[in-house]
Amino acid sequence: MTRRAHVLLLLGAVALVAPPAVLCAEAVPGDGVPVPIAETALSYSRALLGSDLTASWQLLSSKSRSEITAAEWGDALRPQPSPQPPSAQSLLTSLAGAEDPAEAGEVLIAPDQALVDVSNSVRITQELVLVKEGDRWLVDLSASDELNARAAAQLFLDAVRADLKVPSGAGASPSRDGRLSALQMLLAPQAKDYYVLAADVEEDRARVTLACDLPVHIVLRATRSAAGWRVDLSRPIVSVDPTSAAPLSEAMDSAHSATCQEQLRQLGRAFAMYMAASDDLLPDPDRWVEMVRPFGAAGISLHCPADPSPGISYAMNRNLAGKRRSEIANPSRTPLLFESTLHTNNASDTGESWPEPALHAGGNLVLYVDGSVGLAKVKPSFEVREGRAGAGAVRPQPRRTPPGRPRRQPL
DSSP codes joined into one string, 45-92? HHHHHTT-HHHHHHTB-HHHHHHS-HHHHHHHTSPPPPPPPPPHHHHH
The C-alpha atoms of residue 278 and residue 408 are separated, in whole angstroms, by 8
Contact 316, 288 (CB under 8 A): yes
pLDDT of residue 13: 29
Can you give the pLDDT at residue 196? 92
Among candidate residues 266, 240, 264, the one with its CA nearest the CA of residue 253: 240
Instruction: Map out the domains of the chain as residue ranges.
Output: 3-243, 254-376
What is the radius of gyration, based on Cα positions, of the chain?
29
Residue 35: count other Cβ atoms within 10 Å of its Cβ.
10
Handedness of CA 192, 197, 198, 204 (dihedral sign): positive
The per-residue pLDDT for 364 is 97
Per-residue pLDDT, 87: 60
- Whether 212 and 195 have beta carbons less than 8 Å apart is answered as yes
Closest CA to 32 of 282, 202, 201, 270: 201
Which of the residues in the chain have pLDDT under 70? 1-31, 79-102, 159, 161-190, 233-243, 389-411
SS3 15: coil
Decide the pairing of beta strands 314-317 and 348-349.
parallel
- DSSP reduced 3-state for 367: strand
Dihedrals phi, psi of 62, to nearest 5 degrees: -60, -35
pLDDT at 270: 96
